[in-house]
Structure 1
């Protein structure tokens, strides 16, 4: 009875998934499992791995079953490791599992298996099931994204949520010399270290500010607004010009709209100018540059923006 109760607890902890080896260790024979599968009391998920219920599999059950099927030394990786630890969304519903480089594991439905050298050094062993530590998981998940903006979003989001820092990610990146796309990740993390926290902020930095020779703004500037703390996306401190970026077409709730208006009005009362941009800067970065340059000139910026390309409408400086 005690053995059966411990097996029930094991299955509960593993979201209903269990391996053939675990069942046999608790006195359940192959014949018994085959009979329960025929009676639709169990279902086979992968070779040698079962779930103690029938019907659709929950994500947690699929995660445990994939890990159990990959054998000793396996660990959740990439997007799956992030999701298991409450980071990231559910864009990729496949289960990503890493195994030691010395092992080869065959294909499994809905499972992506990768091989890693020095895998134990990347794993947070206290997790159940074992999963990569946050920093290597973020870097691996980012490099798996085909679109550069999505790679940036994975890293920016984690830093904005204060789950990690650009410095920690850069240090981890140095330990992964074989990771594809390292140079792109280094550039993204360098921008994150400057205070960039979103794809829109990255676009503004690269395609508006740098491309047109605008002065360098300070990012995520902490300010006080009637006793509340606010953060300015970009502030040209010597010239009293603030740039706020919002990727949404508009805030859906009145509280958010009021908060943003209060923030911008507070800047005006101190003599500062606030310019607001959305996703139009992706298609019209040159227009945005000219609009930012105008108040910079009015507030003492001695230089001029320069064209970013032969087709740029800005006149040569």
Structure 2
């Protein structure tokens, strides 16, 4: 069959039935079979992802050669972590997320780790609980406290990097009252979701993430809801951007506190370790 070019070796012991370039799916199969028993892991195990270097997990203690463009991850308890009914076999999604987020947290890129989590959980609402269970069962995970915090925030309603940034960098860091998150509103006659609402004060904070607000229709829908809320005397809406959360969180907190106090909040914002002297004085 090789002489007749019906098959060719993609790796010693692994064959394909054509002579042209491998598809990406074939590259995944070659990577797994060349390292067998093995499974796609890390970013390679995330559905829809196609990293340039394919990562496969094998059991600790093994030594082997793999094709170019393949990276090996040695792990314990491989059998228990693999979805064998996937094609090709891959590490369970919650386990792969932990590995990927751990690597990103180790480099200091917490925002990227949270973005990975939100993308994976978009179509699987129960995934945060699965990730927490998998974390509890693993004895060693680099960055465990941060990962647990990210998953808990997502489970409790902070559904984007921007929302989590607001929760931690603006609201909590400066002692603002805790808002309700992902509040359903039917002020326009149809169901919409409010990012943050300070219920007793009648103040809404909408976080302007590009993924949600990059179309004229999205802006129109938000503006219509804001107008309906205002006409009913229900709430004042503040629109906060990435720059205001990640570049100037202290100034943003001070100004939001002024609005909240105008609506009846009797507390006062506190300075965080990053507050410049001017912001501290204003607070």
| Alpha carbons 2:94, 2:127 under 8 Å: kept | no
Alignment match of 2:97 (pick from 123, 138, 155): 138
Alignment of 1:254-269 (within 5 A): 254-269=216-231
Q: Which runs of 5+ in 1 are unaligned?
A: 1-31
2:134 is the counterpart of 1:161: no
Residue 195 of structure 1 is matched in structure 2 by 157
After TM superposition, give the deviation of residue 45 of structure 1 in Å.
Answer: 2.6
**How far apart in 1 are the matches of 2:130 and 2:156?**
14
**How far apart in 2 are the matches of 1:67 and 1:283?**
44
RMSD: 2.2
| Alpha carbons 2:188, 2:224 under 8 Å: kept | no
Residue 33 of structure 2 is matched in structure 1 by 68
2:200 is the counterpart of 1:227: no
Compared with structure 1, are the counterparts of its residues 189 and 258 closer, same or farther at alpha carbon in structure 2 (3 Å cutoff)? same
| Alpha carbons 1:157, 1:198 under 8 Å: kept | no
Compared with structure 1, are the counterparts of its residues 187 and 249 closer, same or farther at alpha carbon in structure 2 (3 Å cutoff)? closer
Residue 78 of structure 1 is matched in structure 2 by 42
Residue 51 of structure 1 is matched in structure 2 by 16
SS in 1 for 2:72: strand
After TM superposition, give the deviation of residue 108 of structure 1 in Å.
Answer: 3.0
Residue 236 of structure 2 is matched in structure 1 by 273
After TM superposition, give the deviation of residue 275 of structure 1 in Å.
Answer: 0.7
| Alpha carbons 2:31, 2:66 under 8 Å: kept | no
Relative contact order (alpha carbons < 8 A, sep ≥ 6): 1 or 2 greater? 2
Residue 170 of structure 1 is matched in structure 2 by 132
Post-superposition CA distance 1:244-278 (Å, at most 9, x none): 11232994433222222223223323420111111
**How far apart in 1 are the matches of 2:228 and 2:122?**
24
SS in 1 for 2:271: coil
Larger Rg over CA atoms = 1
Alignment match of 2:173 (pick from 211, 228, 246): 211
- Taking structure 1 as the reference length, the TM-score comes to 0.79
Post-superposition CA distance 1:144-163 (Å, at most 9, x none): 32322111111122234335
| Alpha carbons 1:125, 1:131 under 8 Å: kept | yes
Q: Which runs of 5+ in 2 are unaligned?
A: none
Compared with structure 1, are the counterparts of its residues 292 and 68 closer, same or farther at alpha carbon in structure 2 (3 Å cutoff)? same
- Taking structure 2 as the reference length, the TM-score comes to 0.88
Give the count of matched residue pairs: 276
SS in 2 for 1:315: helix
**How far apart in 2 are the matches of 1:195 and 1:228?**
21
**How far apart in 1 are the matches of 2:228 and 2:11?**
60
